[in-house]
């Protein structure tokens, strides 16, 4: 490569690595695999080494990726949280060993080999043994104050076993089983899946609301003493043992090696047994054990000279894609699954894997009968990386997503702007568990006592098959679920019967119509007055309603055109459910014609409570600021919405001013 081409390629690589680093570190939405990113960084590092005149300060080889997220307080690290230089072969490992020994002028050297945990790096600060602050790595010099979120992690001690001042570094992560469970629940709830466990952990920890972090299965391993003035450690191994004594959850894989051959054996051992680990790793870290030697070796602007990270390549295997079958999830999403000739990848036998959606299949041109390349994404989720097109015989079959639900025969549709094809049958057996949970929820029919486990038990015993069957249950039926359950049964039976008198909007919301939430249900019920009118409404009539777009209108029309829906409504009418909007007397409509945007952290109310109050008084809420916005209610760390409100001249009010408005 000549000098001109090298300069051009370096510029391209800088732009690519900056973009992918932002998606990875700041947005927690990686677009390429770790290995692909590592290869880009390796190419950039090698080119800059060959052409040092093109090195600039903004290159990711010169600084740590990541920035402080808006809404968090900045924390300047007393000791920088540096990253590690990555290597991919043993020759580079021996070169590292020679370089270190030459600098120190020694023949023998001890190293500690540890697993490189795939998570988010943090610093924890303790004063007199009390946890006072925790921060993300950020750019290595300045991180984000996530103290409240870190307090939700059970393996972070709030008080140490000794009253010492100390700063330690650790890695927040989510275990393999917990990650799989999280993604399974997100899929059932129609939420986007996390790409890997690392980004799930990072996204969870970097939430402005600590309750979100608390709801996620975050864990931590501590792997380094950053600062401790009261104790003079001589070795890294000694410091780790002391951290365990203080009560920290220290990285469980830490092996002392006396030479580089032992280091390589341990790296291979970790690689061979990585599938047995309960947490994900993306390599092995090799550190000089002697802390005095570390001071002599020092650091570069980005990486320490006394440590290095060996990265394992992802294991890939070729196998036959025997068939593609479709599964219907609890929310009606129809997911294509690849049925594979069983093959062992990274310690697990893989016989099937998700193909996500029809766009994924078309993008990779996957056909039944293809030879496909499989790897485990993040050491957990198997995926098809590519097709071996050269192995095709001409007998491969192009797959088309079904437009009829394979479970119930109802229409299966793909809405504009969505990747998923979903069944819209209201009585589809695959959907009933989720349907009934939503139907009974507080914002829908509000049936107190009808929890998830009770619904699950009803379904398992065959006592109900759909929503309407709830109204056929007797007190004796319900009492059979529990020993001495008469009181419980009476209360639940009464709650079910009382729900018949609910306002129409609750029933509309409870039906679980795609794209129709409680706010839209209120508007629709208020406009059309009866269930029959709603069922007979055309898309043209529906789009005339405020905030009702074509997608929402089409969802309603398609839903009520289904025979299953008509049968369900007919049964609910038969069982005496109210089908008419209840006229509210003496409504206070002080906010009628006004649109509010609520942003930032509030003290006295949750955002949901504020939005409910606004709607109660006839106003509307929106998620974005525009010229149509009447007020922006801004709490702490309001961010970009507040900025836009000021730019547009929209009136900004505080939480206290809002409280004055509703007195």
Catalytically active residues are: 116
Strands of 448-500, DSSP E? none
Cβ-count burial 135-168 (b if 16+ within 10 Å, e if not):
bbbbbbebbbbbbebbebbeebbeebeeebebbb
Task: Kindly provide the residue ranges of all beta strands, DSSP E only, lying in 102-155, ordered along the sequence.
Answer: 111-117, 120-127, 130-136, 142-144
The burial class, CB within 10 Å (0-12 / 13-18 / 19+), for 569 is buried
Q: Is the dihedral of CA 582, 588, 590, 591 positive or negative?
A: negative
Cα 142 to the chain's mean position, in Å?
24
Q: Quote the CA–CA distance of 45 and 53 in Å, as a whole number.
A: 13
- Residue 506 contacts residue 516 (beta carbons within 8 Å): no
CA end-to-end span of the chain? 73
Q: What is d(CA 615, CA 594) in angstroms, rounded to the nearest whole number? A: 10
Whats the size of the chain, residue-wise?
Answer: 663
Instruction: Measure the CA–CA gap between 239 and 378, rounded to whole angstroms.
Output: 30
CA distances from 72 to 35, 142, 148, 171, 203 (A): 30, 11, 11, 19, 14
Checking 638-646 for CB contacts under 8 A at 24+ apart, the result is 638/599, 638/600, 639/70, 639/71, 639/599, 639/600, 640/70, 641/597, 641/599, 641/600, 642/599, 642/600, 645/597
């Amino acid at each position: 490569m000549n000098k001109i081409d090298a300069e051009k390629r370096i510029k391209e690589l800088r732009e690519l690595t900056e973009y992918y680093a932002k998606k990875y570190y700041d947005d927690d939405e990686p677009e390429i695999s770790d290995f692909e990113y590592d290869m880009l960084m390796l190419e950039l590092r090698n080119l800059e080494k060959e052409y040092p005149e093109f090195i600039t300060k903004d290159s990711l080889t010169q600084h740590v990726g990541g920035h402080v997220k808006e809404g968090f307080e900045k924390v300047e690290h007393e000791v920088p949280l540096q990253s590690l230089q990555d290597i991919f072969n043993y020759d580079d490992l021996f070169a590292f060993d020679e370089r270190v020994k030459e600098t120190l002028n020694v023949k023998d050297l001890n190293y500690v080999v540890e697993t490189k945990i795939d998570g988010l790096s943090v610093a924890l600060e303790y004063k007199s043994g009390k946890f006072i602050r925790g921060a993300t790595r950020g750019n290595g010099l300045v991180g984000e104050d996530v103290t409240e979120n870190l307090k939700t992690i059970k393996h972070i001690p709030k008080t140490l076993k000794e009253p010492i001042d100390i700063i330690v570094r650790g890695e927040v992560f989510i275990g393999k089983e917990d990650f799989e469970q999280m993604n399974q629940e997100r899929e059932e709830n129609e939420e986007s899946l996390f790409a890997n466990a690392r980004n799930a952990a990072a996204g969870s920890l970097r939430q402005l609301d600590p309750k979100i972090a608390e709801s996620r299965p975050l864990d931590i391993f501590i792997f380094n003493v950053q600062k401790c003035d009261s104790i003079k450690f001589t070795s890294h191994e000694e410091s780790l043992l002391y951290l365990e004594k203080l009560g920290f959850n220290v990285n469980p894989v830490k092996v002392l090696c006396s030479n580089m051959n032992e280091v390589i054996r341990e790296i291979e051992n970790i690689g061979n047994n990585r599938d047995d680990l309960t947490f994900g790793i993306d390599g092995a870290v090799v550190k000089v054990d002697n802390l005095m030697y570390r001071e002599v070796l020092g650091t570069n602007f980005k990486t320490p000279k006394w440590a290095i990270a060996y990265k394992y390549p992802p294991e890939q295997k070729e196998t036959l894609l025997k068939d593609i079958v479709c599964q219907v999830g609890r929310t009606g999403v129809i997911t294509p699954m690849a049925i594979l000739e069983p093959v062992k990848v990274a310690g697990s036998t893989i016989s099937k894997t998700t193909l996500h959606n029809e766009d994924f299949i078309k993008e990779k041109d996957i056909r039944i009968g293809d030879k496909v390349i499989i790897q485990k994404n993040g050491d957990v989720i198997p995926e098809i990386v590519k097709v071996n097109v050269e192995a095709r015989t001409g007998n491969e079959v192009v797959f088309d997503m079904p437009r009829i639900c394979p479970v119930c025969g109802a229409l299966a549709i793909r809405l504009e702007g969505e990747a998923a094809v979903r069944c819209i049958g209201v009585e589809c057996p695959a959907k009933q568990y989720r349907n009934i949970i939503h139907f009974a929820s507080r914002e829908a029919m509000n049936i107190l006592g009808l929890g998830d486990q009770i619904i699950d038990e009803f379904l398992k015993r065959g006592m109900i098959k759909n929503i309407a069957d709830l109204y056929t249950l007797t007190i004796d039926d319900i009492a059979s679920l529990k020993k001495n359950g008469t009181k419980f049964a009476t209360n639940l039976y009464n709650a079910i019967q009382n729900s018949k008198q609910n306002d129409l909007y609750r029933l509309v919301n409870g039906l679980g119509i795609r794209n129709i939430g409680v706010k839209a249900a209120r508007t629709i019920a208020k406009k059309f007055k009866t269930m029959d009118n709603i069922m007979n409404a055309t898309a043209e009539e529906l789009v005339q309603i405020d905030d009702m777009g074509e997608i929402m209108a089409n969802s309603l029309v398609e839903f009520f055109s289904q025979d299953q829906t008509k049968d369900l409504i007919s049964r609910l009418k038969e069982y005496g459910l109210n089908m008419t909007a209840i006229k509210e007397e003496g409504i206070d409509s002080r906010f009628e014609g006004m649109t509010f945007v609520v942003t930032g952290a509030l003290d006295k109310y949750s955002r949901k409570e504020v939005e409910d109050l606004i709607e109660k008084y006839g106003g509307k809420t929106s998620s974005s600021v525009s010229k149509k916005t009447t007020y922006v209610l801004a709490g702490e760390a309001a961010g970009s919405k507040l900025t836009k409100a000021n730019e547009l001249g929209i009136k900004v009010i505080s939480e206290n001013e809002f409280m004055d408005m509703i007195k």
